[in-house]
Amino acid sequence: MPTLGLGTWENEDPAQCAESVRTALEMGYRHVDTAQIYGNEAAVGEGIDAAAVDREDVFLATKVWISNLAPEDVVATTKASLETLGVDTVDLLYVHWPAGAYDPEETLPAFDELVDRGLTERVGVSNFEPHHVERAMDVLDAPVFANQVETHPFCQQSALRAHAAEHGYELVAYSPLARGSVFDDDVVRDVAAAHDASPAQVSLAWLAEKGVTAIPKATSEAHIRDNWESRSLELSAEEIARIDAIERHHREVHPDFGPDAWE
């Protein structure tokens, strides 16, 4: 899985979404993240199709929403997502939340079926705490490939990062820029100034140093490029320690964003 991807949450304008995906892929991105509930799978598929990049070179992930987690719905809605995306398979299919119709013993065998049928290459989970991940590992035949959670300098997810390292799955950061809050943090701004970089680049470089894959949302070519250029930013041990000390256990997305917010 490429360690920097394009997130598409709240990228709701179809033309803008398709163009941002095309732009990112032609710039060099090879990882695109969407979800059933985002309502933009068709636009994401259009962007992939429009890009001068082979489909097999794109790591594409989507997520099954909580109301679709009964076994028969997992299969039916995933097939619908593939049709909407215009692809035969996705590289990673997530359980979006351990909520709603989610029942590990019922839901997860349907994900195994999708792997067996070649409709997804890998199974992931999202917004799972360690005990949720361990239960999923017990039930699934396929390995848990990734857990996608909110992660940024203010919500560093050290316990989940350690759990991921111990159990051999990837941690993927949504809202890696804390919905823009990193732009106003003095430590992040000071580190950015020292490198003639942007605060966004510093936050993404810090996540990369922690072994976390980031999927920042960006729609303009300038922001897509700014995030992409974080790959060349190397932070010193002292700078990493300064950012580590920012930890506030503060989530920018929660509690306003969650399963209940969509119902």
Which structure tokens are listed for 93?
Answer: 């299919």
- Is 169 tagged catalytic? no
The single-letter code of the amino acid at 204 is: L
Catalytic residue among 38, 102, 169, 174: 38
C-beta separation of 41 from 81 below 8 A: yes
Residue 198 to residue 227: CA distance in whole angstroms:
9
Taking the alpha carbons of 66, 67, 73, 77 in that order, is the dihedral positive or negative? negative
Closest CA to 1 of 215, 230, 225, 229: 215
Which structure tokens are listed for 41?
Answer: 């799978």
Q: What is the DSSP string of 54-82?
A: -GGG-EEEEEE-GGG-SHHHHHHHHHHHH
The single-letter code of the amino acid at 259 is: P
Burial 192-226 (b: 16+ CB within 10 A, else e): beebebbbbbbbbbbbbbbebbbbbbbbeeebbeb
Indicate which residues carry an active-site annotation: 38
